Amino acid sequence: LLYYAHQLREQGKSAAEIAEAVSKIKSRVRTSFVIDTLDYLHKGGRCSGMAKVIGTLLSLKPLIQVVDGKLVVAAKSRGKKNGLNTMINNFRVDWEANNVWTDRIMITHTVNMEEALYIHGKLLEMGVPKSSIVFSEAGCVICAHCGPKCIGILYLLKEDNR
């Protein structure tokens, strides 16, 4: 949303016009990420002690999505690679429907460039233009809630499909 707002500002739009335009597209933002460890979710009260123990024993990696401003567990995968592939396949559905705004697709991570490069390769295999993909390190809030090795894909849909 920030990139979009910046583009509008560069086009000379007023603050009110920018606020209105951003408000109209915020439901089209897709944010999903795979959590590497349940420790930080547990410490933050988002995961019970029992769920943490069972999830850790089964090597479950939750795929979290932001839906209407709330964090939702969209899937649970056994092992990190399966979690990454689930997240990539969710992106693929929107990509193959030609519904991804290609100006900016972000791969965001918390000290996890190796898996960020893995996702980057998969997106390139799908035909995503290299110039559209941006890497970013997550900020301190994400790090505090999700812990190290968390990784996500963020993008904007051309049309809301919910």
CATH architecture group of domain 27-157: 2-Layer Sandwich (3.30)
Residue type at 5 in one-letter notation: A
Where do the structural domains in the chain lie, given as residue ranges?
27-157
| Average per-residue pLDDT for the chain | 92
123 pLDDT above the threshold of 90 = yes
161 pLDDT above the threshold of 80 = no
pLDDT tens column, 6-59: 889 999 999 999 999 888 888 899 999 999 999 998 998 888 999 999 999 999
Q: What's the distance, CA 122 to chain centroid? A: 15
159 pLDDT above the threshold of 90 = no
Walk across the sheet containing 70-78 and list its strands.
70-78, 60-67, 29-34, 151-157, 100-109, 133-137
pLDDT tens column, 73-97: 999 999 999 999 999 999 999 999 9
pLDDT tens column, 125-145: 999 999 999 999 988 877 777
Rounded to whole angstroms, what are the CA distances from 59 to 19, 100, 119, 130? 42, 31, 20, 32
162 pLDDT above the threshold of 70 = no
